[in-house]
Amino acid sequence: MPADTPTQKSFEIFLIGDTGNISRHKPDTVLETLKAHMNSEQDSAIVFLGDNVYPRGLPPKGHLLRTEAEATLNAYKESLKDYHGKVIFISGNHDWNKGRKDGYDYVLRQEKYLGKLFGKNVLLPSNGCPGPAVVQINDDVCLVLINTQWWLQPGFRPVGQQYGCRVSSEEEFFEHLIKVLDDNKHKRIIVAGHSPVYSYAIHGGRYKFRHHLFPFTIYHKKAYVPLPFIGSFLPLYRKYFGAKEDIAHPRYRRLRSRLKEIFKNYPGLIYAAGHEHNLQHITKNDNHFIISGAGSKLKYVLQDGKNLKFGLKAKGFFKLKCDPGGKISASVWALNPLEASGKLVYEKELV
C-alpha cells in the first residue's frame, strides 16, 4: 500500500440500501441520521445499494405510482442538496419493476431521472448493463459496482456495445471482473451490488419456527394465518429452490457461485449489498461481506451463525473509514431518537 504522506486524507464510504420507502414529503429519519455524519472537510461517498424506489421503481408518466415514485427520488436530492461528496446509486429488483419482464424500461427511466436531479449520471452500472463499473476512490481504494439484478431479471437484459454495455456475454462479465480486480489488487477493493453473496436472513433461506406455522408472515409481519405442517412448504421451498430473489434460485446460485470463487482469490476484499432489510457483517475466505439494507424497511436476521460476526434488525447503515495506507474499519449506526448521529452498535477493523 502507498505510504502515508501529509497530503493523503482518509475517505469515508456510507453504505445504505433498500431506501425506497423513505419519507417522501418530510425529512426522513434515516437520511437525517446519515446527514449528521457528513463533514464538508471529510472526503466521502454515499452508495445507495439498490431498491431505491418502492414498490416498483419509476413507472411511465400517467401511471398510478408515478407521482409517489418521483417524490421518492426528489427526496434523495433534497436530503443531499448540501452534500459535496460522491453520490452513487445501484439498481435492485424493485427498481426493475420488481423483477417483471419490462423492468429494463423502468431502470432506464430511473437513471435518466436521477441524472437530471444530480446533474450527472449517478446510477451505476449505467444503461442497465451488468458492469462492472469502476470508481477510483483514491490511491488506496477502488470501488467496483456490479448490477446483480441483471442476472436475475426475466425478459430483456441489455448486453453488448449496441446497448452501451462493456461485455457481450455472461462469461465475459466474469472475465472483465477478474481483470478489474487484478488491475487493482495493489489497492483495497470494495465491490458493491444489490444482492448478497451470503445472508443469515430470509433471502439466505434462514427462517424461524413461526414462518413454518404462519408462512404468510414471511411477506407481512401481521399475517398470522396458521397453516401447521402445510405451512412449512413455503419456507422450505424458498430455502432449497428459491423465489427469483432468493440465494437458492438457480440463476442466483450461478452468480453467487462464481463470485465466491473469484473473490476468495483477493484476500481482504469487501463485498457490500442490500436486499435484506437488516444489517449484517459476515466473513468467509478472508473476505468481508456486508449487508446494509435497513434504509427504510426491516426484516429479522439471525443473531449468530458460523460466519456471522454481526446481525441486527434496526434501521441504519454501515460506514467504512478508509485511512491512508489501506486500513479500513467499519462502523454501524442505528437510529437513536436521542442522538442526531444515531447509536454506534458495531465497530470492526476489516483490513
pLDDT tens-place string over residues 252-272 = 999 999 999 999 999 999 999
Q: Which grid coordinates belong to 130?
A: 451488468
333 three-state secondary structure: strand
Query: Given this model, what pLDDT does residue 135 score?
Result: 98
Residue 203 pLDDT class (50, 70, 90 cuts)? low
For residue 324, pLDDT over 70 is answered with yes
Instruction: Tell me where in the chain the CATH 3.60.21.10 domain(s) lie.
Output: 11-196+247-349
Top mean pLDDT of 4-13, 118-127, 212-221 is at: 118-127
Q: How far apart are CA 207 and CA 77, in angstroms?
A: 37
Amino acid of residue 72: T
Residue pair 275/51 in contact (Cβ under 8 Å)? The answer is yes
Residue 219 pLDDT class (50, 70, 90 cuts)? low
Give the chain's mean pLDDT.
Answer: 90
Residue 290 bridge partners (DSSP): 272, 281
Query: Given this model, what pLDDT does residue 209 score?
Result: 46
Radius of gyration for the chain, computed over Cα atoms and rounded to the nearest angstrom: 19
pLDDT tens-place string over residues 41-62 = 999 999 999 999 999 999 999 9
Query: Given this model, what pLDDT does residue 231 score?
Result: 46
* DSSP of 301-318: --S--SSEEEEE-SSEEE
Query: Given this model, what pLDDT does residue 246 score?
Result: 79
**CATH architecture for segment(s) 11-196+247-349:** 4-Layer Sandwich (3.60)
For residue 300, pLDDT over 90 is answered with no
